[in-house]
Amino acid sequence: MGTESGEYIFPFGVSAAPDEYIPFKFDVKNPGVGGGSISVATYGTANDNLPFPEGVIDLGKEEGANVVDRFWQIDLDGFSINPVADVIFTTTTAEAATFNTLRAQRYNSVESEWDTPIANQENPAPNIVKVPLVNSFSPWTLVEENKLLPVELKYFNAVLKPQGVILEWATAQEYNNDFFTIERATDLENFITIQTISGKGDSHKENLYKVVDLIQLGKVTYYRLKQTDFDGSSRYSKIVSVKTMNDGNFNSLYPNPTDGRYILLKNVSADAHFSVPVHIYDLQGNHIYTSTKNFPNPSGAIALKFEQPLRPGVYFIRIGEGFSQRFVVNGGN
């Protein structure tokens, strides 16, 4: 190809008959830099869409019935900057017979997920899809427009903050997404539902979600995210965890609830005397108390006394870098 523009045709097919000739067209609009070549391969598959192209893990949550039984592998070599081209896919009429409107999707080998379909695709014929201004390549396939292959969850994170465990996740796009369920456990097995968040249905843009879990149960708390479609099918995210206490230096904060005048902290560490910073935050994350305390030997306790009683509400105490606990102020007499 070098640095040329214009249309290149790969005359795939077993004959010139309309149902057997499936040319692939690569119409260069902006030549590449550095000069290079393009290689293209295509192959039909069984009804289960196997075998996948090298590097493709799966088709996401879609059934194979929503994907044509064919893949294309497009590779460019030798360019410092890839050309930009209109790419035209042709499948056999039989392969396209059960679909209404086909759209082309590219598998992103770096992210191990299916990219959002490029906008403004056209269908010159039911078995032909034209994709404008493409400059990224790798495996491609054709899929029913209303059943696009999903982009995997971009991320799901859990971070301990003064106001609780902050759970955040993002999707690059959503199709048929009914809701998310956040589940929590302390043993990696017995997960319980703590909150349900509505999805965006069908969305072609990035969506961000955030939930605060106010309850901290033990040394390590585990979370996972369940995504459910309108048809009831679901899938889980990877499990994430937060360390909600340190290595066991404390096992109690009492009384809880308190009247706001003082709280007691009990040390059960095998260590001897040690000094750590103590911070208290309100539910909005405002820093309202700080001090450095010297903790006594194992089984000892210290009292945090407040010159001005804390107002009724929910608070969080953090001791050192690890221990964080929620407590409630009911108000004094």
In the chain, the amino acid numbered 234 is S
232: burial class by Cβ within 10 Å (0-12, 13-18, 19+)? exposed
Per-residue pLDDT of the chain (333 residues; tens, 9 = 90+): 888 899 999 999 988 887 889 999 999 999 999 889 999 999 999 888 889 998 887 776 455 678 999 999 999 999 999 999 999 999 999 999 989 899 999 988 887 778 878 889 999 999 999 999 999 998 999 998 766 555 567 889 998 776 678 899 998 777 778 899 999 988 888 899 999 999 888 776 788 999 988 765 567 888 999 988 887 877 788 888 887 654 344 556 788 889 989 888 776 554 445 677 888 888 777 888 888 877 665 556 778 888 889 999 888 887 765 566 778 898 654
Strands 234-236, 220-229: pairing is: antiparallel
pTM of the full structure: 0.50
Please give the pLDDT value at position 267: 63
The DSSP symbol for 238 reads: -
Taking only the tens place, the pLDDT of each residue in 202-255 is 776 788 999 988 765 567 888 999 988 887 877 788 888 887 654 344 556 788
Cα distance between the two ends of the chain: 85
Please give the pLDDT value at position 247: 39
Alpha carbons 151 and 115: distance in angstroms, whole number: 6
Angle CA 16–17–22, to nearest 5:
70
